[in-house]
Amino acid sequence: MAHTGKKIRAALLAVLPSLVGCGAAEPAAEVPVVAGDAELEAGMRGVPIVMYMARGCPVCQRASGWLRDGGYPFVEVDVE
Instruction: Give the total number of structural domains in the chain.
Output: 1
Query: What is the rounded distance in angstroms from the CA atom of residue 72 to the CA atom of residue 33?
Result: 13
pTM for the structure as a whole = 0.51
- Sign of the CA dihedral running 29, 73, 45, 47: positive
**Which pLDDT tens digit goes with each residue over 9-44?**
666 666 665 565 544 445 555 556 555 677 777 777
pLDDT 10s digits, 53-71: 998 999 999 999 988 998 8
Domain that holds residue 29: 2-78
Place 45 in a pLDDT band, splitting at 50, 70 and 90: confident
